[in-house]
């Protein structure tokens, strides 16, 4: 059903008492491969006055097959949190911890010089050596300050329950997408993993074809003007967090200036501040140095069934292919005064959308 090289991010929840490492080890066993402990970078709003966000590194697990090829990467997703209301576990599960820092550049340096397998008491020792200071142990946490007393980083026991969220990140899949996904999801179901309340599935495709004026403008039109029909067609999870339409100013520029060049659109998108936390993540298309050169669609609902994930991804693929055509994506009120979902299905080139 899919023709594009596609990567997936699928958000699941381990059963109480379980964690993402259990799934990583099961996958490695089935593939005759290995699990490598690593760090996953994320950020969250800060409760400390004057600090907008705290960035952190949390335990992640990279699974490879017998030939050393990537199978999946399993990480935390901090938007998955409703389960903690009903089920709490002890902080510091398996001795796991997070490393917190308020500067993205420092965090990248910390990730480079620390060992994700090290215990909390010593993990920041290389950072302390860089600053010619020491690691201070305070109440189960480890902290490194610079020589003026400013805190560089803190390692703290993993908050209760944070071992259970498990986002499965696949490598780019070229063929047999459904079979490849089922090989990851069937073991998860067998181990009791479920679809959490706030979950979503994210789809990544190669970004380079969309780094062109007409294609980029069509993306903006599609995800701005067709937002409600898109959510209905794809059955977007209303509890999913960190979604939003494209910035209003970007939409206005696209709608009123059809002859803008790619350079103009890129500059506008950067000026208005596109963010990854949107229905469609355009940030890597306009970045000077893309971290991951993909276009990401974030509005597929959480799911643990490979067939339904691929079915919805095929709709997305059809719509993205339509964005690559020279013709502008029309506004819904010009083609679909009543049944906009049917009109959107036609835009995707889908003859039928299963219920």
Strands (E), the chain: 6-13, 34-45, 53-64, 70-75, 97-101, 135-138, 141-145, 151-157, 165-169, 200-206, 280-281, 294-301
Mean pLDDT of the chain: 93
Q: In which band, very low, low, confident or very high, does the pLDDT at 280 lie, cut at 50, 70 and 90?
A: very high
Mean pLDDT for the stretch of residues 24-35: 98
CB 153 within 8 A of CB 124: yes
Which residue, chain included where needed, has tokens 């200036």?
Answer: 257
Two structure tokens written together for 248: 């209003």
List, in order, residues 6 or more apart from 297 with CB less than 8 Å away. Answer: 202, 203, 205, 279, 280, 281, 316, 320
pLDDT 10s digits, 311-341: 999 999 999 999 999 999 999 887 766 688 9
Residue 174 reports pLDDT greater than 90: yes
Q: What kind and span of H or E run contains 121?
A: none
User: What does the pLDDT read at residue 230?
Assistant: 97
Residue 37 reports pLDDT greater than 90: yes
HSE-up (13 A, CA, CB side) for residue 183: 16
User: What does the pLDDT read at residue 48?
Assistant: 65
pLDDT 10s digits, 70-119: 999 999 999 998 887 555 567 889 999 999 998 999 999 999 999 999 99
Mean pLDDT for the stretch of residues 43-67: 83
List, in order, residues 6 or more apart from 321 with CB less than 8 Å away. Answer: 349
């Amino acid at each position: 059903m899919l023709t594009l090289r596609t990567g997936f991010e699928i958000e699941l929840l381990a059963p109480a008492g379980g964690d993402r490492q259990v799934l990583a080890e099961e996958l490695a066993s089935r593939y005759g491969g290995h699990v490598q402990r690593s760090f996953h970078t994320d950020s969250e709003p800060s409760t400390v006055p004057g600090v907008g966000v705290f960035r952190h590194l949390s335990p992640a697990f990279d699974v490879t097959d017998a030939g050393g090829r990537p199978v999946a990467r399993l990480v935390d997703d901090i938007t998955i949190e409703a389960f903690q209301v009903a089920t709490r576990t002890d902080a510091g599960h398996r001795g796991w911890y997070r490393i917190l820092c308020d500067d993205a550049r420092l965090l990248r340096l910390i990730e480079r010089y620390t060992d994700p397998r090290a215990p909390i008491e010593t993990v920041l020792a290389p950072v302390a050596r860089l600053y010619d200071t020491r690691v201070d142990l305070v109440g189960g946490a480890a902290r490194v300050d610079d020589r003026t007393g400013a805190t560089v980083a803190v390692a703290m026991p993993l908050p209760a329950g944070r071992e259970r969220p498990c986002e499965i990140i696949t490598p780019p899949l070229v063929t047999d997408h459904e079979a490849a996904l089922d090989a990851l999801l069937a073991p998860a179901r067998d181990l009791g993993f479920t679809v959490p309340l706030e979950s979503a599935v994210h789809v990544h495709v190669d970004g380079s074809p969309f780094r062109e004026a007409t294609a980029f403008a069509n993306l903006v039109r599609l995800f701005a003007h067709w937002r409600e029909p898109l959510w209905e067609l794809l059955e977007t999870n209303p509890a999913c967090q960190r979604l939003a339409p494209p910035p209003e100013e970007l939409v206005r520029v696209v709608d009123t200036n059809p002859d803008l060049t790619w350079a103009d659109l890129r500059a506008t998108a950067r000026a208005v501040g596109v963010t990854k936390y949107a229905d469609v993540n355009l940030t890597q298309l306009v970045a000077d140095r893309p971290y991951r050169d993909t276009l990401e669609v974030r509005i597929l609902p959480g799911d643990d069934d490979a067939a339904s994930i691929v079915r919805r991804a095929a709709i997305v693929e059809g719509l993205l292919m339509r964005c690559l055509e020279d013709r502008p994506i029309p506004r819904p009120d010009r083609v679909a005064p009543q049944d906009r979902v049917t009109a959107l299905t036609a835009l995707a080139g889908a003859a039928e959308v299963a219920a």
